[in-house]
Structure 1
Amino acid sequence: MPVKKNKPANNEVPESKKDADLNPEKERSDAQLMTTNQGVKVNDDQNSLKSGDRGSTLMEDFIFREKMTHFDHERIPERVVHARGSAAHGYFKLYESQAALTKAKFLTDTSVETPVFVRFSTVAGSRGSTDLARDVRGFAVKFYTDEGNFDLVGNNMPVFFIQDAMKFPDLVHAVKPEPHHEMPQAASAHDTFWDFISLMPESTHMIMWLMSDRAIPRSYRMMEGFGVHTFRLINEEGVAHFVKFHWKPVLGVHSVAWDEAQNISGKDPDYHRRDLWEAIESGAYPEWELGIQVVPEEDEHKYEFDLLDPTKIIPEELVPVQRIGKLTLNRNPDNFFAETEQVAFHVGNIVPGIDFTNDPLMQGRLFSYTDTQLIRLGGPNFHEIPINRPVVPIHNNQRDGHMRQQINVGRTSYNPNSIGSGCPFQAGKMQGGFTSYAERIDAHKIRARSQSFRDHFSQAKLFYNSQSDPEKDHMVDAFSFELGKVEIKEIRERMLGILSLVDMGLANRVARNLGLHVPAPERPINKGVPADAGDEQEPILDVKSSVEVSSALSMANTVKNSIKTRKIAFLVDEGVNDDSVVLLQDALLDQGAVVELIAPRLGTITGKNNTIIPVNKSLLTAASVFYDAVYVPGGASSVGSLAKDHQAIHFLNEAFKHCKTIAADTDALPVLEATNFAKKLPVPPTTDIKAVEEGLIIHNDMGVLGIQFIAAVSKHRFWDREPERRVPA
């Protein structure tokens, strides 16, 4: 049979295809127009299809579903994002019934301890990356309630990069390693990420959080969690309130220094995982209080920001956070893969009394999570994996599928039926079944965003203005480091233009470090707007926050009254003053701290009173970045040895550089005098005020030294020491 001219013979490439491959400019007009996988040209790739500009996302949006489905199935079996995680079991206990706000039983019955499973994670890196990357941290809580599972799937930052889930694949593609060489791993300091951010002004608020100290937490136990989205709480009478969920760590919110984070990544990339595991194993159970910000339905449009915009917070000065219960983690997983890896969270897992809003990011996640679990966990029965199984029985007509575990009996798998006596019955309102909030919808189908979503800078300014001076310095360093890694000059300049809309002083400081001048922001600012949208979707630049400074946004204002679980290093060697070691160690342990004795070698050492002292770590494997403070006890032989040991001196120099508390017996002063910060040492004995304010303590009275040391360590860091942080260590 002759070959038709309009078809290639065998596997021959059509001439038109050859021409296009050899000369892509030839078909540039078509190649540059976005299409679906079926070749349908797309007019708007920035907004999902909604019922009105503030309405819910519609299932008929085939463009969004195709884009998100392909994104969700790009990688197997590792999670596309949040791949590197750590988790633990625990329970949630309510302080006071919230029946006035919700009919959710776990939020109304104070006698119940609701089991939970909590997974923390980084976002951008793979499973094999480091815990200490500058990144958002996932904070996902699965409540096994008596009404079914409720998943509060959030982050350690209260806002997000984008307003509409349609942009989520683009965001992750931009931050992931660049596709031509798969670098860099678990890092946002590269061209594609900042190219995207500089073109999407809605990301500005989130990028301020990412460049702050919040992006490098001291531990999972010392970071906040947020539900990010605005949810609804609905009571028995059907009255609804808007709500934002918060997790407030009992130990306060603390970070590590960026230089310290880089060192930890090389020395122990499992630092956060190990910290969580060891704290639980030792009985120092991590705790957070659940807080809620509640806004009545009638106040939906009361504020200068839109409650449904996921790039906005509700400042606590406008709506205080009510602490309503406590989360405690008290058991590590028995098997990492079976539990931590196979747990499946879903923002759509809710219970009666909690409901969604029309937040366009939330609406997209309602589709994405199920789709992701289907490919990652092998099929539709992932809810039967033990870690995902609710504590209440499951009765429905779903059958079969890959890896089915439940053995269903009877002939019926449909409803209504008479053969199976009508079972399972629909619960209905009287039996506490789930009922969606009856929200009135009267709108046109449209691809657009509400005009109330156009303010991208007022809360970015609020966040920056709320930071302490050291925190602002760290943000300048972070922007300078990240943009300094960007190779394309135009991207750096474009981002400086965006920063100038937040704070000109910030932009000028970063520009100086990059050897550039701050340009005027490019016009149009928002490159994510379809060409025919005109100025209608451009940012509004003159919106001012009704709150000028929010104390809750600065880590300088966090809890600083405890040294529980803080790790203290004692530098010791043969002939150490064993009385000093025992006295201070007991005082610290009484306050809940963790003490480790570090010597030039492992094994044991003998104190000056012939006490045999076990050594926890050697200077070969220990490093100051793993500890919150350092103490050098006396003892002539020990002091003489450590003063000549370069690793011991480096340990102290590094601790000083990272602004940590350092203490020593008066007769251990020669060790401190061998450091780079010797000129900064106080004249012993230190006074109470000087010791606590500067974090340098030298005393010959162990009772006084202990009191000063504990007070200083509870302050966490001494950022006023920042210039000295840059001395060689």
Structure 2
Amino acid sequence: MSPLRRSRHDAQDKQRQLDRYRVDPEGRLTTDQGIPVDDTDNSVKVGERGPTIMEDFHLREKITHFDHERIPERVVHARGSGAYGHFRATESLAEYTKAEFLCDTSLETPVFVRFSTVAGSRGSADTVRDVRGFATKFYTRQGNFDLVGNNMPVFFIQDGVKFPDFVHAVKPEPHNEIPQASSAHDTLWDFVQLQPETIHMMMWLMSDRALPRSFRMMQGFGVHTFRLVNDAGRSVFVKFHWKPRLGVHSLIWDEVQKVAGRDPDFNRRDLWESIDAGRYPEWDLCLQIVPEEDEQAFDFDLLDPTKIIPEEMVPARPVGRLVLDRNPDNFFAETEQVAFHLGNVVPGIDFTDDPLLQARLFSYLDTQLLRLGGPNFTQLPVNQPVAEVRNHHRDGPHQTLIETARAAYHPNSLSGGCPALADEGAFRHYPERVQGHKVRKRSETFADHYSQATLFWNSMADWEKEHIVDAFRFELGNVTHWHIRKGVVGHLNHVDHDLAVKVAEGIGVAPPDRPVTLNHGRSSPALSQADQPGSVVGRKIAVLAAEGVSADDVRSVKEPLIDQGAFCHVIGPHDGSLPSTGGGVVEVDRALRTVSSVVYDAVVIPGGRTSVDILTGCGDAVHVVAEAFKHGKPIGAIGEGIDLLKAAPMLEGVRLADRHDGEVADTGVVTQAAGGGATRWFLHEFTDAIAKHRHWDRAKERVPA
């Protein structure tokens, strides 16, 4: 069998394993023992109004199962969303690793990916300011490999022994369980001001990276430095990166607070609907590879999880493609029960002595034992490898395998010595030489806590810096103890004096009069979200319309955008249909009162005098335009639709099309004076504006939205 056919066979076999556990909803109702049930609305009683009797086994089973159907939620990363897909290497890495799925470009490896927020509970909102988890389970023929990462490349702490302290600090405060899914409170910032190693990560957390527009537009990072080991036993260091094909794009703080009220499932809904519509999310797997002999070649320690390797120093090399193309069938059985573990590695991938990584190797497995009821959680369909499993593990809660071998030990003769030890293809730990005294001490190479935080600040565009300052002001403005505010500002003064002064002025703290450390001036363009690649694929466009709208304008905008992969919704004063010019009708997708500009990426107003007059007299419609403008979103208008832009407050200063200048594009506002349908120019400019995501060069400060 060829490698490609064998890979497809493995994926099909995995699907067959999952199918064994699927329940046919079309069949008749039964108990858990398969006994048919003809009434599940009434318990068995003594007479119609008498007491319920204990022999009603269906009642007892139904209630008992309900009472026990919740499992403990994850301590962190509780709120998540997942999808199935596949990975294929685009070049062979056999020079560096014997991990088959990274060496054979003909293999299509099935995967399951779970995205998540970190701090909040399962019932919190998607769009909070938080780190996002990006965990990928590769079902490889050599066993399962779990790449458990985040959307930020660094972490809050350097040593895993501090992990409980950090999580306790960021979680809701213990005396009142407030605030939920928020870092804007005293205990987190008290931890920060006493732990300078957190400052680099806090710069990322205060940036727009903490507010992703979509999981589809979010980077992923393995965070830690790992090893790749080839067939000859040679090793290199490696950092794993996921780079979204749609570019890295974010929301802004004003939006996320409103989105949390309008649609708390904003990110998970976006992922589900995109896959359901065939607009499959894609990422490139990129590796930063460092030869062993260059381990000490940097001014930071490769094993320090609070540091990045700037891409100017070691480029991120694209080596494979990830595509998510199938939604789960059952959230609990798959997304909630999937169990990731950093210790799930395959031959060719190994660990380093990163002290945070070493602690996480224990923590992940330990938590699965509690959450999933015992050591047999690997038998759950979503966790089962495609590789054959043979060992001497026995019994325990939820054992589903029926072992027939007499011997459950090694060595044995009663079972013919089986399962036998592998004579090839086994995982062997890299034979790194280790020596030293047992000490509780941090390496001096981990001592620089500020220079990479400065690098991050220097790399930001002006609008990104503005958002970071506003974020620090909001977060620290919710801290009630003033010594904590002062302590954080003191650390920021090590990062950049101007940053510290601006934050201090916003939170009532005396600004530092001089820098503690001079800004080194270095930057890394890869850290900024400015000038990201963009696309209209998966973008949500609101088409504002009312009675008397131009059907030609609606159709000429909506159809081309849908053809390019966007979602277009006609937003009207009410559900149903709208009579249009020329006697036809335009179907409404959503009523205006049920939506908001914050759940859309762009707004377009078609012509039609009556329609525009109605919308101009509607405060909600005018607010949609003004708010979209303030958030830097693309806005389009055709014919009489331009009058709605003129009615939106504080949009003066933006050039609009008129009879003297019939087509104008100005800071993402695209207008066409003539009606009768969108021109080719309008569609080109509007789609280009959407692909650029946001337009920050607008005078938007006075917009009251």
Mapped to 2, the partners of 1:193 and 1:520 lie a distance apart of 26
Shift of 1:444: 0.9
Could you say which residue in structure 1 is the equivalent of 2:665?
691
How many residue pairs are counted as aligned between the two chains? 632
Match of 1:472 among 457, 465, 474: 465
Mapped to 2, the partners of 1:78 and 1:683 lie a distance apart of 52
| Inter-CA distance 689–368: structure 2 relative to 1 (3 Å threshold) | farther
Mapped to 1, the partners of 2:589 and 2:668 lie a distance apart of 28
Match of 1:490 among 447, 467, 483: 483
- Give the letter for the 2:507 counterpart: L
Match of 2:504 among 501, 511, 514: 511
Q: Secondary structure at the match of 1:638?
A: helix
Mapped to 2, the partners of 1:284 and 1:213 lie a distance apart of 25
Mapped to 2, the partners of 1:150 and 1:687 lie a distance apart of 59
Could you say which residue in structure 1 is the equivalent of 2:425?
432
Shift of 1:680: 2.9
Shift of 1:435: 0.5
Mapped to 1, the partners of 2:455 and 2:651 lie a distance apart of 40
Could you say which residue in structure 2 is the equivalent of 1:134?
129
Match of 2:456 among 446, 449, 463: 463
Q: Secondary structure at the match of 1:630?
A: strand
Mapped to 1, the partners of 2:488 and 2:431 lie a distance apart of 43
Note if 1:217 corresponds to 2:194. Answer: no
Could you say which residue in structure 1 is the equivalent of 2:323?
328
Shift of 1:662: 0.9
User: What per-residue deviation string (whole Å, max 9, x for no partner) do you get for residues 502-555 of structure 1?
Assistant: 011001001111122135899xxxxxxxxxxxxxxxxxx97987x811110000
Shift of 1:110: 0.7
Could you say which residue in structure 2 is the equivalent of 1:570?
543
Match of 1:558 among 532, 536, 541: 532
Could you say which residue in structure 2 is the equivalent of 1:12?
none
Larger displacement relative to structure 2 (657-666 or 369-378): 657-666
Mapped to 2, the partners of 1:123 and 1:228 lie a distance apart of 15
Could you say which residue in structure 2 is the equivalent of 1:612?
585
User: What per-residue deviation string (whole Å, max 9, x for no partner) do you get for residues 270-313 of structure 1?
Assistant: 00010000000000000000000000000000000100000000
Shift of 1:587: 2.0
Shift of 1:580: 0.9
Mapped to 2, the partners of 1:125 and 1:197 lie a distance apart of 19
| Inter-CA distance 367–605: structure 2 relative to 1 (3 Å threshold) | same
Note if 1:642 corresponds to 2:615. Answer: yes
Q: Is the 8 A contact 1:417 1:423 kept in 2?
A: yes
Shift of 1:677: 2.8
Shift of 1:133: 0.4
- Give the letter for the 2:593 counterpart: L
Mapped to 2, the partners of 1:690 and 1:202 lie a distance apart of 50
Q: Secondary structure at the match of 1:555?
A: coil
Match of 1:377 among 369, 372, 379: 372
Larger displacement relative to structure 2 (449-458 or 690-699): 690-699
Shift of 1:585: 1.2
Could you say which residue in structure 1 is the equivalent of 2:594?
621
| Inter-CA distance 277–607: structure 2 relative to 1 (3 Å threshold) | same
Could you say which residue in structure 2 is the equivalent of 1:17?
none
Shift of 1:706: 1.3
Q: Is the 8 A contact 2:81 2:116 kept in 1?
A: yes
Q: Secondary structure at the match of 1:613?
A: strand
Larger displacement relative to structure 2 (642-651 or 670-679): 670-679
- Give the letter for the 1:81 counterpart: V
Mapped to 2, the partners of 1:651 and 1:267 lie a distance apart of 14
Mapped to 2, the partners of 1:312 and 1:250 lie a distance apart of 25
- Give the letter for the 1:417 counterpart: N
- Give the letter for the 1:182 counterpart: E
- Structure 2 residue ranges without an equivalent (≥5): 1-69
Shift of 1:692: 5.8
Match of 1:549 among 514, 520, 523: 523
Q: Is the 8 A contact 2:550 2:607 kept in 1?
A: yes
Shift of 1:245: 0.2
Could you say which residue in structure 2 is the equivalent of 1:43?
none
Match of 1:710 among 656, 662, 687: 687
Mapped to 2, the partners of 1:316 and 1:188 lie a distance apart of 29
Could you say which residue in structure 2 is the equivalent of 1:724?
700
Q: TM-score under structure 2 normalisation?
A: 0.88
| Inter-CA distance 707–236: structure 2 relative to 1 (3 Å threshold) | same
- Give the letter for the 1:219 counterpart: S
User: What per-residue deviation string (whole Å, max 9, x for no partner) do you get for residues 205-260 of structure 1?
Assistant: 00000000000000100000000000000000011000000000000000011000
Shift of 1:727: 2.1
Could you say which residue in structure 1 is the equivalent of 2:646?
673
Note if 1:700 corresponds to 2:677. Answer: no
RMSD: 1.8
Mapped to 1, the partners of 2:454 and 2:77 lie a distance apart of 28
Q: Secondary structure at the match of 1:720?
A: coil
Could you say which residue in structure 2 is the equivalent of 1:40?
none
Q: Secondary structure at the match of 2:243?
A: strand
Q: TM-score under structure 1 normalisation?
A: 0.85
| Inter-CA distance 489–726: structure 2 relative to 1 (3 Å threshold) | farther
- How many percent of aligned residue pairs carry the same amino acid? 57
| Inter-CA distance 636–520: structure 2 relative to 1 (3 Å threshold) | closer
- Give the letter for the 2:591 counterpart: S
Shift of 1:624: 0.4
- Give the letter for the 2:435 counterpart: D
